[in-house]
Amino acid sequence: MEDTTKLIESLFEKAADYCKSGYELIKLKTLDKTSDIVSSVITHSVVLILILTFMLFLNLGLAFWLGEILGKTYMGFFIVAAFYFITCIIVHFFMHKWFKKMICNYFIRKVFK
């Protein structure tokens, strides 16, 4: 009877160790996925900020240049603004679903990587 008790205790200890190991493995996998996603988002955010800064100065230069050609500075800014307004309308009506799908797929690939 005592052997059976020791065997059952040993079995319970091994099961508890297995559960603890499984829990630790889940925690480590979650940490790995989270750190991968956060690092990707931060890296892409830095690149996006740099691109937006570049685009800002490019657009300012273009607006001033067009304004100089047209003789009135504000006309250059209106032309650049009109270009972006038309671009926003096109993106909203024709490419909104494509952008949404692309972003969703990116995050899904990162999670299941």
93 has pLDDT over 80: yes
On whether the CB atoms of residues 47 and 41 are closer than 8 A, the answer is: no
Nearest-angstrom CA–CA distance, 48 and 50: 5
Question: Residue 109: how many CB atoms within 10 A of its CB?
Answer: 9
Number of domains in the chain: 1
1 has pLDDT over 70: no
CB-based burial label for 59 (10 Å; 0-12, 13-18, 19+):
middle
Nearest-angstrom CA–CA distance, 64 and 73: 6
Residue 81 domain boundaries: 2-111
Q: What is the mean pLDDT of the chain?
A: 88
- Helix (H), strand (E) counts: the chain: 3, 0
